[in-house]
Amino acid sequence: MTDALGQLVLDLPHRPALEAEDFLVSQSNCAAADIVDRWPDWPLASVLVVGPARAGKTHLANVWRLKSGAAPLVASALREADLQRAAGADLVLEDLHTGIADERILFHLLNLVREHKRSMLLTSRLPPGELQVRLPDLRSRLRALPLVTIDPPDPALLRAVLVKHFADRQLAVEPHVVTHIALHIEQSMEAAAAIVAEIDRAAMAARRKVTRALASEVLARAAEHRR
């Protein structure tokens, strides 16, 4: 990575993610990063983090899991045995938007975490009011949780994420090329990952460096494909 590329990343603070890769913090996700820093001083026993696909929810949950020693759970696979894990451990429950296998179990988990003075971090792409929850008590409980939102990436974060994706693929890309790409893609983490993969494939196929011209060709093809 060139010094210029490194500077693009260093312009944003890095959060050590223990065994995970660094979590880049900007205005769009600072509230979610702050809730991890504030633990165990949370307003309630459980906190819900909501954000779009590939916004960093799983990464953030992993940072907190490693920090707290929490046991990982998945909403679509909740079962009776998970109730035994709540009594003596903090919990991470991911992907509420994919469906809750047993709503009664989740309601009891929320109660047990509170009663045993433990903590639970939940994640979802959808806010509580948009989740398909049939159990009235659970619906009310989820809506009462402290809600932390991860917004779509701001321009600085999007550029830094592009740089990181390129670096992960061992591609040295000039800052002006990164800026050009950031201006012409959907402002999302998912779009950033997808376009870097496409550019990487195009560069390998043509045995070319990643230049603005190559990036523009790939961007044009992607735009044509979306029509």
pLDDT in tens, 185-216: 988 888 898 899 999 999 999 999 999 999 99
- The answer to whether 165 touches 64, Cβ cutoff 8 Å, is no
> Residues 63, 142: one domain?
yes
Q: Domain count of the chain? A: 2
Nearest residue to 122 (alpha-carbon basis) of 39, 32, 46: 46
> Residues 142, 56: one domain?
yes
CATH number at residue 164: 1.10.8.60
Residue 23 within a domain: no
Domain boundary pick from 149, 169, 199: 149
Q: Name residue 170's amino acid.
A: Q
Is the N-terminal amide bond of 175 cis, ω within 30° of 0? Answer: no
Residue 64 within a domain: yes
Domain boundary pick from 103, 120, 149: 149
Distances from the Cα of 52 to the Cα of 40, 58, 116, 170, angstroms: 25, 11, 31, 27
Distance CA 77, CA 100 (A): 7
Mean pLDDT value across residues 24-28:
84
- Cβ within 8 Å of residue 117, ≥6 positions away: 45
> Residues 181, 141: one domain?
no
Token representation of residue 216: 């523009």
Token representation of residue 50: 């909501």
Distance CA 100, CA 131 (A): 9
118-165 residue pLDDT tens: 999 999 999 999 999 999 999 999 999 999 999 888 888 899 989 988
> Residues 181, 123: one domain?
no
> Residues 35, 79: one domain?
yes
Residue 22's pLDDT is 63
Nearest residue to 55 (alpha-carbon basis) of 95, 10, 91: 95
- Cβ within 8 Å of residue 208, ≥6 positions away: 202, 214
Distance CA 72, CA 93 (A): 6
What is the overall mean pLDDT for the chain?
Answer: 87
> Residues 44, 136: one domain?
yes
94-121 residue pLDDT tens: 999 999 999 999 999 999 999 999 999 9
Domain boundary pick from 115, 149, 183: 149
Strand-pair partners of 72: 92
> Residues 145, 157: one domain?
no
Residue 160 within a domain: yes
Read off the pLDDT band of 44 (50, 70, 90): very high
Could you list the residue range(s) of the whole structural domain that residue 100 is in?
29-149
CATH number at residue 79: 3.40.50.300
